[in-house]
Structure 1
Amino acid sequence: MRDKITLSNMMFYGFHGVYEYEREQGQKFYLDVDIFTDLQKAGNSDLVKDTIDYTTVYGRVKELVENHRFSLLEALGAHIGDSILQLTNVSDVTVRIRKPAVPMRGQIDCVEVQITRSNKK
């Protein structure tokens, strides 16, 4: 079974970037998280204890984006993925981070990094 919970387009203000001014001034970051788990028990019981609590996921993402500083989106995504994998019954997680204010010449909407982590050995 390949069930999925998605939290889409979460927005947080964080201080991440290669350049010092990015880590000082900060900016908005947009994130999506896909969590793969077996939702059959929750579908039958209709109890939050049998699923992944969305508010817990949101809180973990918010804490890492807003209270830590990373040079690379790859590092931020890895920390978020590893944190979510610690939740009970998560088999896989994919984190997408979009950074709209990218210090590069040329027109671009954003840079996006996607990180996937798994509990499968």
Structure 2
Amino acid sequence: MTTDRIELRGLRARGFHGVLSAERELGQEFVVDVILGLDLRPAAEKDDVSLTVHYGELATALVDVVTGEPVDLIETLAERLAAVCLADERVVETEVTVHKPAAPIPHPFTDVAVTIFRSRG
């Protein structure tokens, strides 16, 4: 079976995740990239959005997780986001990257990110 992809990159939302109390109090912007693996042929053949993952609705569900219940680790946040992606039975695998560009690191840096891969079964 061919696995096609839907990609949503650079989704931004303010969350209150982190180990430090300042991160929990002040919050910061998180950036999320997701790749969904699924068969897009049914949607393409019928030109029907109901036969694919609606990326606008997916974006809202992902933002709800980022802005929702705080966690200490972005690894945990990535796991929760992957669960949202796999909640649609058509999605057979997902890659989720959570970027924390304002991480409290006392040295110059561009980005901190965690990437996880999850699949059904």
When normalised by structure 2's length, the TM-score is 0.95
Q: Show the counterpart of 1:48.
A: 49
Offset, 1:85: 0.5
Q: Show the counterpart of 2:71.
A: 70
Alpha-carbon separation, structure 1, partners of 2:102 and 2:51: 39
Question: Matches of residues 2-13 of structure 1 in structure 2 within 5 Å?
Answer: 2-13=3-14
SS at match of 1:59: helix
Alpha-carbon separation, structure 2, partners of 1:30 and 1:11: 5
Q: Show the counterpart of 2:101.
A: 100
Offset, 1:56: 2.1
Q: Deviations for 1:56-81, whole angstroms, at most 9, x for unmatched residues? A: 21111111001220110000000110
Alpha-carbon separation, structure 2, partners of 1:55 and 1:65: 16
Offset, 1:105: 2.2
Structure 1 runs of 4+ off > 4 angstroms?
A: none
Percent of aligned positions that are identical: 32
More off after superposition, 31-40 vs 101-110: 101-110
Alpha-carbon separation, structure 2, partners of 1:115 and 1:91: 14
Q: Unaligned 5+ residue runs, structure 1?
A: none
Q: Show the counterpart of 1:85.
A: 86
Instruction: Report how many residues are paired.
Output: 120
Q: Unaligned 5+ residue runs, structure 2?
A: none
Question: Matches of residues 14-33 of structure 1 in structure 2 within 5 Å?
Answer: 14-33=15-34
